[in-house]
Amino acid sequence: ANLVELVRGAVTLQKAGQVGVEIEATLPGTEVPAELDETMIGQALTNLIKNAGEAIESLQQAGEAPPGHVPTIRVALETQGKEGVVTIQDNGIGLPADRARLFEPYVTTRDKGTGLGLPIVKKIIEEHGGTLVLEDADLFGGTDRPGARAVVRLPIKALTPETQGTAQDAAE
């Protein structure tokens, strides 16, 4: 599987689903090959981008978005050694004080929602030998409080000369 395509697909889906939210994606120009279940990881990434949008919605509904706030989600993929690192940042309501509880089933920072999202997403990523961490995001998009940043690390296959060649061909 190519992690670049999976991230791009999740972004495209959410761009269609989240009208009024800017979703910016920064992706490498080459393939990032990984052995993973494309459907599961695709769903996990889509779910995280959807959560980011819901955090922005919560901020707006609470009437706490500052003037000049531009609802924005930043998605990036980079490689670090043998890992593909996907970061999904939003300028939404931010993480609750009690972060450890984010991964407990049925905990949600939203008024509506089953809260099953994050524990399942985390489980999918961990079953692929990866990790999911939630932390404060950088300030961007006219916000005055940190939103959330999800950091997904997944094992990738080392780029051999052969796979680099195919990546080049695909890019042209």
Q: What is the pLDDT of residue 165?
A: 47
Give the Cα-Cα-Cα angle 92, 142, 8 (nearest 5 degrees). 60
List beta partners, residue 86: 77, 152
**Cβ-proximal residues to 71 (8 Å cutoff; 6+ apart), any chain:** 20, 21, 22, 53, 56, 60, 65, 91, 92, 141
pLDDT on residue 99: 85
Q: Say if strands 22-26 and 131-136 run parallel, antiparallel, or are unpaired.
A: unpaired
Reported pTM: 0.87
The count of domains in the chain is 1
pLDDT in single tens digits along all 172 residues of the chain? 999 999 999 999 999 999 999 999 999 999 999 999 999 999 999 999 999 999 999 999 999 999 999 999 999 999 999 999 999 999 999 998 888 888 887 766 666 555 558 999 999 999 999 999 999 999 999 999 999 999 999 999 976 655 454 444 444 4
**Domain range enclosing 50:** 3-171
Q: Tokens 């706030």 map to which residue?
A: 69
Helix (H) / strand (E) containing 135: strand 131-136
pLDDT at 1: 94
> Residue 82: which CATH number?
3.30.565.10
pLDDT at residue number 105: 76
Predicted pLDDT of residue 104:
81
* pLDDT at residue 53, rounded to an integer: 96
